[in-house]
Chains A and B, each alone.
Chain A
Amino acid sequence: MFAMIPHDWIAGLLGGLMIGASAALLLLGNGRILGASGILGTLLAGEDPARERLAFVAALIAAPALAALAFGAPAFGQARELPLVVLAGLLVGIGTRMANGCTSGHGVVGMARFAPRSIVATLVYLGAGFVTLFLVRHLLGAI
């Protein structure tokens, strides 16, 4: 396990800094919170300003796709059971909108503001994630 940490550690920290810089840019530039679920959810609900959110989502999809074309496809986990993937997508879609945020909006932007709601949300979804993975992988033997 520790043999793989140095590389992943640096990549994780560098990628994290880029994520933080992108959120700082959106806040200091446009006065907006970078939350992936909030931006996509309000875009799908037809709320204004739709063009800004569309530009964000389009660039979020296109930039890594172009990087993958240029430098080769990145690591991507094994094939999964499709019904489980669809269930997971529904849970993430409904859950993030109920909670008004996900890993980016609550986990990065809200935590950096020391917002109590975001700290609670992050602890709860992390806890639910740990428990769900343990149940489904180690007790049920799926995923």
Chain B
Amino acid sequence: MRLVISALSGALFGLGLLVSGMTDPAKVQGFLDLAGAWDPTLIFVLGGAVAPMIVAWRIAARSRRALTGASFPPAPAPRIDARLVAGSVLFGAGWALAGFCPGPALASLGWSGVTGLSFTLAMAGGMIVHARLAARRSLQPA
């Protein structure tokens, strides 16, 4: 059941990205280009996506467990640290350079060709490098 829900959610997420137009890097860069022919579509995508999720969090707050019996993820500590800010700066810069963020990069692999595959492999490589560095850091005495 958990596997089916994961797959259904992934499929719906991918189709939503496709319908929204966010799998087109030129459209994402059009949103980030305030000094050019600004394309506001991403705001509608974000608004449309956040609305049902606000409802979902309300339902989660009132229920003890998810449908499959799992507990809900606890709220993260409201800690704003340098890692969060620096990581978001790097992400925003890469996002603007290619017009891809992780979801749309995966969702468009079926037609994004060498460009999309190169981005996705480099992104996966970056994630693996980060995981290795994080593992090494956690082994060192604080």
Contact = CB atoms under 8 A, between A and B. Distances in A.
Given A36-B103, A61-B107, A93-B127, A87 B94 contact: yes
Given A12-B48, A20-B56, 19 more contacts: A11-B21, A16-B20, A16-B46, A17-B49, A18-B15, A18-B19, A20-B49, A23-B56, A32-B70, A56-B13, A61-B106, A62-B11, A65-B109, A77-B27, A86-B118, A87-B94, A93-B122, A93-B123, A130-B96
B127 A19 contact: no
A108 B53 contact: yes
Interface of A: 1, 4-5, 8-9, 11-34, 36-37, 40-41, 44-45, 49, 51-53, 55-69, 73-80, 82, 84-100, 102-104, 106-109, 111-113, 115-117, 120-122, 124-134, 136-138, 143
Contacts of A61: 14, 106-107, 109-110
Q: Range of interface residues on chain B?
A: 35 or more
B16 A19 contact: yes
A125 B89 contact: yes
B101 A103 contact: yes
B45 to A, nearest CB: 4
Given A103-B103, A133-B33, A53 B6 contact: yes
Given A76-B25, A98-B87, A12 B127 contact: no
Contact of A59 (B14, B51, B80): B14
B9 A96 contact: no
A17 B86 CA distance: 30
B139 interface: no
A67 B18 contact: yes
A109 B54 CA distance: 8
A33 B126 CA distance: 21
Nearest to B13: A22
9 contacts: A13-B45, A15-B21, A15-B48, A30-B70, A69-B110, A80-B98, A85-B119, A88-B94, A137-B29
